[in-house]
Amino acid sequence: MPETPNLDRIASPADLKGLDIAQLRVVADELRAETIDAVSVTGGHLGAGLGVVELTVALHAVFDTPDDVLIWDVGHQCYPHKILTGRRDRIRTLRQGGGLSGFTKRSESEYDPFGAAHASTSISAALGFSVASDLKGEDRHVVAVIGDGSMSAGMAYEAMNNAGALDKNLIVILNDNDMSIAPPVGAMSHYFARLVSSKGYRSLRKIGKGLAKVIGVEEAARRAEEYMRGMAVGGTMFEEMGFRYVGPIDGHDMAQLVAVLRNVRDGQEGPVLIHAVTHKGHGYAPAEAAADKYHGVAKFNVVTGEQAKSKPAAPSYTGVFADALIREAESDRSIVAITAAMPGGTGLDKFAQRFPDRCFDVGIAEQHAVTFAAGLAAAGMRPFAALYSTFLQRAYDSVVHDVAIQKLPVRFAIDRAGLVGADGSTHAGSFDLGYLGMLPGMVIMAAADEAELVRMVKTATLIDDGPSAFRYPRGEGTGVEIPANPEPLEIGKGRILREGSAVAILSLGTRLEESLKAADQLAAHGLSATVADARFAKPLDEELVLRLAREHEVLITIEEGARGGFGAFVLHLLADKGVLDRGLKIRTMTLPDVFQEHDSPVKQYDEARLNARHITATVLDALGRAEEAAKALA
């Protein structure tokens, strides 16, 4: 009897071919242990990946990847997939600078045919691959694995509706890992899933359909089969969208998975949905016992599961926002809060505990979240839509059409503004200043520290004549004292923190601290610097900007956003006022015009050239002092 293969013998998915079920189970067990050990070193997403270990092994054993296309939705469950597809030797570089991405990434491997880090894109992309294969005359299978959380987004159903109408060969696996649509109940459910995916059933189905057509009861027969299967397994909805429904099956039963996947592979006729029930954190006791199933973790002790989270020196911006909103809501019953599947990430879990009837998690449905908030505003409430900057992008049409055009007072609390470290380019909040700033009537604030954020929450509460937004970064604040009774800001007015004569540094957001450091460095070069906090990207404090331009030889703007944002707004103002014709040396410092790779936040901002030494060098270079600028950067 041959020795049972183990993970060390799996260099690529091809090495899984020919293994029996017992051998595949051994591989899965070792793959789970390797995933746990790797993430204990790097931190990252764990629970979802542990839930799809058996599914990952079965998929690569049954299908011929990368010739067959395998697309993972969101991608945070793809660590086991990466280990099996030739990246095991680099798996402990996950989310580190120069290392593997925490999500699927086309440039990283031929086994990642489509990059993903936002939810609900897999079925649309997979349908694109399926149609392309037909047009190019290729014979390959296309599989999309989508979690039930991602199935709360309308995009998934739009894609399924289109796929059903096109009747293309497409396999969608619903990884049902939380609230099961129809849990597998005993042997009968398993038997039925294997039956409806089998060759015998398909042949009988064809004969039955032909007979029904001949005797004129085709529609009645179709409905009888559909509702019989719907009552047995809960698949009627998917059948109505044109998908053959198979399931539910136990996503941790290797024999079941392999049998069903082989049946579907060998007899596919149009789109098929396989409903697999899994458990996040499966096989690792600390994850199974945790409320979040270790969805996202810091580095941890494998034996105990204890995470190595350092005690923060200052409260997080997210926590400060949540506390401030709760204080405002205690005295204003019209305040309501909305988030899109991120109550913990946005701090609204704390708000929900205090005001459960005034907090709404709409699922992964940002477009709905924004229009829902617009409806609340139109009905006289004061809604705060708390969303990550990168996720708000998904709802841009709703921001324009449903909020801005109607001048509705929806307040956007924009978390994760700026760079986000290990999550990389897919989660960076780079573009909100530009895409919101172009909208008429939008008020946009950016907090320089925790105290300013609290005042901006207060200010937004009082803006009732149109939409507003305030942005703040991921991570800890600066440690400043937070006012117990914050005063609202005057709309469109900034502040000067340090007066100088030669150079003006106009900061928007949390680069203010680096701006003050740069002013100290410039003093060593004999240059006196004014440092101002714009507070508002829109409306601009025109009086302040024009004064800085008039009274200084050099004006620097700095922001944690892409080109086309705050600096561009300042340039428009100065051009309109004719100030640029007077020889002012102005430089705009923004995030670079690239999608920055994942790394530590410190290294990312250094790469973006937005730290104090870069501000100093920019000023010196503007003044023609190139040698001093080079030394400042050394």
Q: Where are the alpha helices (DSSP H) in 83-183?
A: 122-135, 154-166
Q: Where are the alpha helices (DSSP H) in 418-449?
A: 432-437
Q: Assess whether pLDDT exceeds 70 at residue 193.
A: no
For residue 566, give the nearest of 518, 506, 526 by alpha carbon. Answer: 506
> Could you give the CA distance from residue 609 to residue 596 in angstroms, rounded to a whole number?
12
Residues 6 or more apart whose CB falls under 8 angstroms from that of 518 comprise 505, 529, 612, 613, 615, 616, 619
For the stretch 116-151, pLDDT in tens is 888 889 999 999 999 999 999 999 999 999 986 788
pTM for the full model? 0.86
Share of the chain above pLDDT 70, in %: 90
pLDDT at 187: 47
Residue 143: C-alpha distances to residues 13, 80, 110, 191 (Å) = 15, 17, 15, 23
> Could you give the CA distance from residue 625 to residue 634 in angstroms, rounded to a whole number?
15
Share of the chain above pLDDT 90, in %: 74
Q: Note if 280 is an active site residue.
A: yes
For residue 194, give the nearest of 123, 236, 146, 250 by alpha carbon. Answer: 250
Q: Which amino acid is at 6?
A: N
> Could you give the CA distance from residue 592 to residue 589 in angstroms, rounded to a whole number?
9
Which domains does the chain show, CATH number per domain? 7-297 (3.40.50.970), 317-471 (3.40.50.970), 495-633 (3.40.50.920)
Give the DSSP H or E segment for 171. strand 171-176
Burial class (CB in 10 A: 0-12, 13-18, 19+), 214: exposed
Please identify which of the residues 366, 450, 452, 560 carries the catalytic annotation: 366
For the stretch 61-88, pLDDT in tens is 999 999 999 999 988 899 999 999 999 9
Tokens of 315: 């409260």
Average the pLDDT over each of 32-41, 226-235, 471-480 and give the range with the smallest value.
Answer: 226-235
CA 503 to chain centre: 39
Residues 6 or more apart whose CB falls under 8 angstroms from that of 588 comprise 556, 557, 563, 567, 568, 570, 571
Q: Which amino acid is at 310?
A: S
Burial class (CB in 10 A: 0-12, 13-18, 19+), 295: middle
Q: Assess whether pLDDT exceeds 50 at residue 179.
A: no
Q: Assess whether pLDDT exceeds 70 at residue 449.
A: yes
3-state secondary structure of 178: coil
pLDDT at 212: 53
Q: Note if 366 is an active site residue.
A: yes
Tokens of 623: 């003044």
Question: What radius of gyration do the chain's Cα atoms show?
Answer: 28
Q: Assess whether pLDDT exceeds 60 at residue 634.
A: yes
Q: Is the dihedral of CA 394, 101, 159, 52 positive or negative?
A: negative
> Could you give the CA distance from residue 385 to residue 373 in angstroms, rounded to a whole number?
7
Give the DSSP H or E segment for 587. strand 585-589
| Banded model confidence at residue 235, pLDDT cuts 50, 70, 90 | low
> Could you give the CA distance from residue 608 to residue 215 in angstroms, rounded to a whole number?
72
| Banded model confidence at residue 189, pLDDT cuts 50, 70, 90 | very low
Average the pLDDT over each of 386-395, 457-466, 596-605 and give the range with the smallest value.
Answer: 596-605
Please identify which of the residues 82, 229, 293, 394 carries the catalytic annotation: 394
Please identify which of the residues 280, 455, 511, 535 carries the catalytic annotation: 280
DSSP 70-95: EEESSSTT-HHHHIIIIIGGGGGGTT
Q: Note if 476 is an active site residue.
A: no
> Could you give the CA distance from residue 460 to residue 443 in angstroms, rounded to a whole number?
9
| Banded model confidence at residue 478, pLDDT cuts 50, 70, 90 | very high
- 308 vs 553 pLDDT, higher one: 553
